[in-house]
Amino acid sequence: MSMSPGLGSLDAAPPLPLLTVDHLRIAFPTSAGSPTVVVEDLSFQLQAGQTLGIVGESGSGKTLTARALMGLVPPQAQIQGQALLQTEQGSLLNLLNLSAQQMQQVRGRRLGMVFQEPASALTPVFTCGYQLRETLRATLSLSKAEIAARCRQLFEEVQLDPTLLDRYPHQLSGGQLQRVGIALAMAGDPQILIADEPTTALDVTIKAEILALLRQVQSQRQVALIFISHDLGVISAVADRVLVMYRGRVMESGPVATLFESPQSPYTQSLIACRPQLGRPLRHLPTTEDLMQVATQADGSWTVQAKGVGSLDQLLRVQAVSPSEIQERQAHLQQRDPLLKVTQLKTHFPVRGWGRPQGVVKAVDGVSFEIYPGETLGLVGESGCGKSTLGRTLLRLIPASGGQIIYDGDDLLALPAQRLRQLRRELQLVVSGSLWGFGSPQ
């Protein structure tokens, strides 16, 4: 059997990338004259169905890169480079050259985004269902009945009961809100889903559920995923390829297994080495600056250099805390009276239906502990186990249902309002959501 020369002997051409980012540069003007460069010379490719992980410290440019692709950067931003998206028709669309009106047609239909703070993607005065319906109206041409059916389908796809469509954002848990955020991002059947630290504010159990959900959605819809995180463990679990960023530049990129097993960049090596490990108490948690240094040249350019072989081992030996030291410190702390003593503390919430009590939720039920001056007490548990309620009850932001709270000799539950106001200076709360920790956003 004869064959034409070359027929069947050539390998199939590799598929064209779904997204090609080429020499992306983002800068902001300053009063000094020269702009501040936040992202510099960033290039990568994303194939259809692939997961690209972007990892780096806060301020490395991860989120700004994602927002540039979505057209969500401030108007004063100076953007150079290309971000070429391959459309279903085979044409290339430069996302960085689109007008605001053109970008509105791209968001939702071609690009969807899941934000770090699910509450920031939702308006508190509208139900989740209303906001999902409005998203569908803006992205797809559907009838009212089709939109209603699509809303139910999307909620079921993200494993939410469709009855929650009538709930307001404040009536849902953090994990439920993030599922709503995923439903909003997927409403217009985008080609690419960008997940910007979608599990940072969630506990370990809920985080695993959201990661599994994203993998399921990606598999079912064959959508490409850009997953942004500072969590190396999460990136290693979800990504096919990894991009490591530092100070707006790519330090290293490659397949996830290769990069984590044999990192080449001093920055990547130090980033992996600094991961906290259970069972290894240290006086000081190592940071990347302990293991590498930035060498700045006369022209302002810089490179990352390792501080030397054995730096990590030497640092860990110096900072290690022995079991005997821990016992001695605990014994020293407990020589004084407890600063805070909690005894059988209870916080119960009534459940009402049709205007009548139907039961009670025991958010905190019989908790007792002591904290000594200079001591740190860790409270750990899944979402909904009562950690935040306990903290707010200790500060009398929520009324206790029973028990006793003794702070420096004072019974907090029996204090008059004036004395309690005086103690507010000594008892402070740092809330979990940074967006809500500073009063009015205006």
Three-state SS for 385?
Answer: coil
The CA-atom distances, in angstroms, between 219 and each of 48, 147, 157, 264, 346 are 11, 24, 12, 31, 45
Please report the pLDDT score of residue 116 as a whole number: 84
Please report the pLDDT score of residue 433 as a whole number: 58
* Cα separation, 195 vs 186, whole angstroms: 11
Instruction: Specify the pairing of strand 302-306 against strand 340-353.
Output: unpaired
* Cα separation, 342 vs 399, whole angstroms: 15
| Residue 219: alpha-carbon gap to chain centroid | 21
* Cα separation, 314 vs 297, whole angstroms: 29
Select from 218, 198, 177, 34 the least CA-distant residue to 114.
Answer: 198
Please report the pLDDT score of residue 172 as a whole number: 87
Per the CB < 8 A criterion, the answer to whether 246 and 240 are in contact is: no
Listed as ranges, residues in the chain with pLDDT below 70 are: 1-14, 309-312, 353-355, 432-442
* Cα separation, 185 vs 224, whole angstroms: 13
Integer Rg of the chain from CA: 26
Please report the pLDDT score of residue 353 as a whole number: 65
Instruction: Please check whether the two domains, 19-261 and 340-432, share a CATH topology.
Output: yes
Give the count of beta carbons closer than 10 Å to the beta carbon of residue 44. Answer: 18
- Taking the CA atoms of residue 131, residue 135, residue 138 and residue 142 in that order, the dihedral angle to the nearest 10 degrees is -100
Please name every residue paired with 367 in a beta bridge, in sequence order, or none if there are none. 345
Please report the pLDDT score of residue 442 as a whole number: 44
Q: Identify the residue whose tokens are 């009562």.
A: 386
**29-58 confidence digits (pLDDT tens):** 988 878 999 999 999 999 999 999 999 998
Phi, psi of 388 (to 5 degrees): -65, -35
* Cα separation, 139 vs 13, whole angstroms: 34
CATH for the stretch 340-432: 3.40.50.300
pTM of the model: 0.80
Supply the DSSP string of 141-152, one letter for each residue: ---HHHHHHHHH
* Cα separation, 284 vs 64, whole angstroms: 31
Under CATH, which architecture does the 19-261 domain have?
Answer: 3-Layer(aba) Sandwich (3.40)
Q: In the chain, where are the structural domains located? A: 19-261, 340-432
Please report the pLDDT score of residue 7 as a whole number: 42
| 226: exposed, middle or buried (Cβ count in 10 Å: 0-12, 13-18, 19+) | buried
